[in-house]
Amino acid sequence: MSQMPATPLEQARAVLRKAEANRSDPRRRGLFWNVKTWEETFQKIVRLEDNRDQTIQQQIGQARKTASGDRVLTLLQHYYEHIDADAAWYKAHEDRMRELRERWENDQPAEAHVIDQLARHYAQIAYRLRERRVVLRQIGIEVLEEQRRNLGKPSANWVTYWEWLRLAFREQDAAYRQAYAQQIPQTFIKERLRWCEKLRSHQRSTALRLGGLRNLDRTELAKATALVDKLINELQPPPPRIDWGAVASIGAVVGIVAIFAFVVLRNSRASGSVASPPTARPVQGIVAPAIDATAPASATPDLQMLNQQALDLLKQKRYQEAYELFRQAAAANPNTYEPHNNMAFCLYELDQTDQAIEQWRQALALSEQNSPDANAGLGMALYASGRQEEGFRYYQRASALNGDYHNENLLRSTYYWGDKAIADSQPLREQLPP
């Protein structure tokens, strides 16, 4: 019987296991151990898992739109099995790394920098395990809510699952502090809040749909909604503090400015000359250059000249024109990632975010995921589109590949990022460790 071929995720995990085997053997570590391979493979595993999760979530969303309750439940259970397998894999990997560190510290002393590497990688694995457990608990709650919607009552104790979720949140927070030496970002807290609000909306919908049925356990539903409401209140950001001293100072400045303006206006009227406001200039639109459709297909543009012309237009913020030239460069050399990356930045400034994301994904595929600019662009676009945790991971990877992505001035002057990209990447830059 022929064996099923390994999936890309299974292949990536096999590479990481091989890297760990090379790390653990002192004779192989010097010859075959490669820290870059480990870190790139780990990031690849995370991306593959996230892409798979996104696909299943889209299927669940589509099933909900078509009111296919059984299909939703089947997909949720399928999703649960995937995340459960992820968590088991990370737990086994975490155990092996912990045993290795204990052996190095006790029986087989290792160099300090080697132990530091292991500690850093262990912290990343530990955090990913806790993050997977959070997702696992959330899906478990969603399964129970779907059962309530279909049957009137969950098949298990909803409150117990809720306590497991609260514990998973606390463990994730602690693991993030350990891995990244800072508090978990507020964007992650906002994602939890959005999930809770979505769950609460689903509960309300269930109550309206099944309100007149005898088999609906109203007491249990009321208890569940109260717990969700409590967590929503806890996750709400605190109201901003008012600095009354600053308010008083501003008030004083405003008063002085008003008095000064009154005096100037009175003097101007006395002299008969009042300045008129400046006239607004018309905004010039961007016009894409005409493309000669009758040109022979064999005509190959000078790619270097084409790229330089496009970059000059990009510097001038003439994004539509730059996009057309980058598109020609991509068509002339389809195996090069740079034109796709540059097209994506043009599209993003033109508010065509979905098309930009598609181009950045293509650029990453052609660069074997190693383009810092494409990682940063995709991370920024995903983050701004609401997929903040996934976006933050891509931007973190860009920063690991190239530290310039901390610096707004370099992004403007060296990489020609536009105003929209600069503004939308600011929250990500603020979250990066110094």
**CATH code at position 334:** 1.25.40.10
Q: Which residue among 119, 153, 183 closes a domain?
A: 183
User: How far is the CA of 9 from the CAs of 42, 50, 155, 427, in angstroms?
Assistant: 11, 11, 32, 30
Q: pLDDT tens-digit profile of 25-74?
A: 877 777 788 888 999 999 999 999 999 999 999 899 888 888 667 889 99
16, 45 contact by CB (below 8 A): yes
pLDDT band at 249 (very low <50, low <70, confident <90, very high): low
Instruction: Provide the pLDDT for residue 293.
Output: 33
Instruction: Provide the pLDDT for residue 375.
Output: 92
Nearest to 12 by CA among 56, 59, 57, 51: 51
Residues 6+ apart with CB under 8 A from 161: 137, 140, 141, 144
Instruction: Provide the pLDDT for residue 239.
Output: 65
Residue 193 lies in a domain: no
More confident residue, 271 or 390: 390
Instruction: Say if residue 228's pLDDT is above 90.
Output: yes
Q: pLDDT tens-digit profile of 109-122?
A: 667 778 888 888 99
Question: Distance between CA atoms of 407 and 166, rounded to whole angstroms?
Answer: 37
Residue 277 lies in a domain: no
Q: Which residue among 183, 203, 234 closes a domain?
A: 183
Residue 3 lies in a domain: no
Instruction: Provide the pLDDT for residue 298.
Output: 36
Q: Tell me: do 170 and 307 sit in the same domain.
A: no
Residue range 90-110: mean pLDDT, rounded? 84
Residue 32 lies in a domain: yes
Residue written as token pair 């530990």: 126
SS3 content of the chain, % helix, strand, coil (to 5): 75, 0, 25
Nearest to 85 by CA among 139, 20, 158: 139
Classify the C-alpha dihedral 382-384-385-389 as positive or negative: positive
| Three-state helix/strand/coil letters over 229-293 | HHHHHHHCCCCCCCCHHHHHHHHHHHHHHHHHHHHHHHHHHHHCCCCCCCCCCCCCCCCCCCCCC
Alpha helices in 335-418 (DSSP H): 338-349, 353-366, 372-384, 388-401, 408-413
Instruction: Provide the pLDDT for residue 230.
Output: 93
What number of H helices and E strands is found in the chain?
A: 17, 0
**% of the chain residues with pLDDT over 70:** 81
413, 314 contact by CB (below 8 A): no
Q: Which two tokens stand for residue 313?
A: 């237009």
Instruction: Provide the pLDDT for residue 40.
Output: 92
Q: Which two tokens stand for residue 421?
A: 């990209």
Q: Tell me: do 34 and 167 sit in the same domain.
A: yes
Lowest mean pLDDT among 301-305, 393-397, 405-409: 301-305
Q: pLDDT tens-digit profile of 181-212?
A: 888 888 889 899 999 999 999 888 888 877 66
Q: pLDDT tens-digit profile of 127-149?
A: 999 999 999 999 999 999 988 88
**% of the chain residues with pLDDT over 90:** 39
Instruction: Provide the pLDDT for residue 48.
Output: 94
More confident residue, 254 or 211: 211
93, 125 contact by CB (below 8 A): yes
Residue 201 lies in a domain: no
Residue 231 lies in a domain: no
Q: pLDDT tens-digit profile of 283-310?
A: 222 222 233 333 333 334 466 677 778 8
Residue range 385-400: mean pLDDT, rounded? 88
pTM of whole model > 0.85?
Answer: no
Q: Which residue among 129, 154, 183 closes a domain?
A: 183
Question: Distance between CA atoms of 209 and 101, rounded to whole angstroms?
Answer: 55
pLDDT band at 246 (very low <50, low <70, confident <90, very high): low
Quick one: angle between helices 388-401 and 372-384, nearest 10? 160
Instruction: Provide the pLDDT for residue 67.
Output: 65
The parent domain of residue 376 ranges over: 303-431
Assign 306 to helix, strand or coil: helix
Residue 292 lies in a domain: no
Residue 413 lies in a domain: yes
pLDDT band at 245 (very low <50, low <70, confident <90, very high): low
Instruction: Provide the pLDDT for residue 140.
Output: 94
User: How far is the CA of 44 from the CAs of 90, 141, 148, 254, 277, in angstroms?
Assistant: 14, 28, 37, 55, 57
Number of independent structural domains in the chain: 2
